[in-house]
Amino acid sequence: MGGVAALAKAAGFRVTGCDANVYPPMSDQLRALGIELIEGYSADQLSLQPDVWVVGNVVTRGNPLMEAILDRGDAYTSGPQWLCEHILCSKWVLAVAGTHGKTTTSAMLAWILEKAGLNPGFLIGGVPRNFPVSARLTASTHFVIEADEYDTAFFDKRSKFVHYRPKTAILNNLEFDHADIFGDIADIERQFHHLVRIVPGNGRLVVNGMEAALGRVIQKGAWTPVEFFGTPEGWESGPADADGSFEVSNRGRSMGRVRWALQGEHNRHNALAAIAASVHAGVDAGAAVAGLAGFESVKRRMELRGTVRGVAVYDDFAHHPTAIRTTLEGLRRKAGPARILAVLEPRSNTMKLGVMKAALPASVAAADKVFVYGANLGWDPAEVFASLGSKAVCSTDLGALVEAIAREARAGDQVLVMSNGGFGGIHEKLLARLAA
């Protein structure tokens, strides 16, 4: 929603916004754009007299401002619908969908198009390090958008991405998630097929060929040419060297070598998807591969927040067991024999429900010690992580957890903090405690 606000501002609208628990980096970005932020959802905000209220999917019936909007009969719409009608309708939309990697892959794709001189607009669910903002409106016909399968609004329960009408669509992966709105993986596959249904015949579907769930989606019907990655029939990556670089091939033919510092097989697959999508948009394959050399990832994706007394503290958005596992494995390859201290806040709605709790102990296997913040959960983390014995420390007190991490940490350790929220400012608190 912060990105939608930024695009509306760039399109010439006066924009204000309200939310609960606003936190960086989005809050900083919005203030820098001159967008007024209001904490909370008071009905007093009706005095703003806007032409339209753009409603995010965290807003539910019972929200005091939403109830006042309904009572007064004001005009309202969803963020995705507003984007469709005001921004995307005249664009070549390149949409990036998938359970994992949407933000990073969207940032990669936008950067490749930028390096190719296409000056793309974009809306990304994080702040790419190669750009100063998460959303940008340009005169270019190309627009990259992170395409989320989460529902649109309380009054529109379709997935957000069905509003985006892409010409190029990446289907990066598909696992069960969002247990608060989907009953099982078949429900999610159905929504992904709704997306497949609206991609035009002259468009392109860029699909992870290793994902059985995506195979089932395509088998339901596809009216658009499909290009696979991760298989010999399409785009493939060679093994990564110690510096992270790797070869890219298409149907067995070399397309060049990506030279970057990113780690992990998941990032190599993200790169393949971004390269294939950019080629459909007209970028030369060799130029696309070479363009990733300058890619610097996204804030809150293995972001080094500081090093104190030889202890490095990283921040990462990982909150699904698969993302937690791949992130830790990537850090393990980078850190070598150094100790890894994993700090986890199970915060998403799916995590709070405990749907995937049984998979969590295995997901942190690459860590040497695990610290879990267990406040506001519907399950007992101490019980779930009991199989790890003394390797795991669980606490419902954030201050006590910081103390436990600081006592354990020693020079050379890599501390990886994983949460999809602000985590109570734990990064700054831990760095300050280490310094003390």
CB 269 within 8 A of CB 171: no
Rounded to 5°, the CA angle 59-63-69 comes to 90
Higher pLDDT, 121 or 354: 121
Longest dimension (CA), the chain: 62
Residues across the chain: 436
Rounded to 5°, the CA angle 126-127-130 comes to 135
Pair of tokens at residue 24: 């960086």
Pair of tokens at residue 31: 């203030």
Choose the weakest-confidence range: 206-220, 253-267, 393-407. 253-267
Pair of tokens at residue 13: 């609208």
Q: What are the E-state strand segments in 195-252?
A: 204-208, 226-229, 235-237, 246-250
CB 371 within 8 A of CB 342: yes
* Cis ω for the linkage preceding 361 (within 30 of 0): no
The answer on pLDDT for 214 being more than 90 is yes
- In angstroms, rounded to a whole number, what is the distance separating the alpha carbons of residues 434 and 436? 5
Confidence at 232, pLDDT banded by 50, 70, 90:
very high
- In angstroms, rounded to a whole number, what is the distance separating the alpha carbons of residues 392 and 405? 11
pLDDT of amino acid 236: 95
Higher pLDDT, 226 or 378: 226
- In angstroms, rounded to a whole number, what is the distance separating the alpha carbons of residues 214 and 202? 21
- Please name the residue ranges forming H helices in 293-420: 321-335, 349-353, 360-363, 381-384, 398-408
Summarize pLDDT for 24-76 with one digit per residue, the tens.
777 888 888 899 899 999 999 999 999 999 999 999 999 999 999 999 999 99
Higher pLDDT, 40 or 421: 40
The answer on pLDDT for 353 being more than 80 is no
Most confident among 159-168, 255-264, 378-387 (mean pLDDT): 159-168
Confidence at 347, pLDDT banded by 50, 70, 90:
confident
Confidence at 298, pLDDT banded by 50, 70, 90:
confident
Pair of tokens at residue 327: 């992130």
The torsion angles phi and psi of 241, rounded to 5 degrees, stand at: -80, 175
Pair of tokens at residue 101: 């990697």
- In angstroms, rounded to a whole number, what is the distance separating the alpha carbons of residues 422 and 26? 11
pLDDT of amino acid 331: 87
Domains of the chain (ranges, CATH numbers): 2-75 (3.40.50.720), 87-294 (3.40.1190.10), 303-435 (3.90.190.20)
- pLDDT, mean of residues 169-195: 90
The answer on pLDDT for 316 being more than 90 is no
pLDDT of amino acid 142: 98
CB 78 within 8 A of CB 55: yes
- In angstroms, rounded to a whole number, what is the distance separating the alpha carbons of residues 288 and 296? 15
The answer on pLDDT for 127 being more than 90 is no
Confidence at 190, pLDDT banded by 50, 70, 90:
very high
Summarize pLDDT for 81-115 with one digit per residue, the tens.
999 999 999 999 999 999 888 999 999 999 999 99
What secondary structure does DSSP assign to 295-307, as a single string?
---BTTSSEEEEE
Half-sphere exposure of 179 (CA within 13 A, CB side): 13
Summarize pLDDT for 255-268 with one digit per residue, the tens.
999 998 787 888 99
Q: Look-up: residue for tokens 């995590």?
A: 351
- In angstroms, rounded to a whole number, what is the distance separating the alpha carbons of residues 400 and 402? 5
In the chain, % of residues over pLDDT 70: 100
Of 279, 296, 298, 288, whose CA–CA distance to 112 is shortest? 288
pLDDT of amino acid 375: 86
Half-sphere exposure of 412 (CA within 13 A, CB side): 5
pTM over 0.85: no
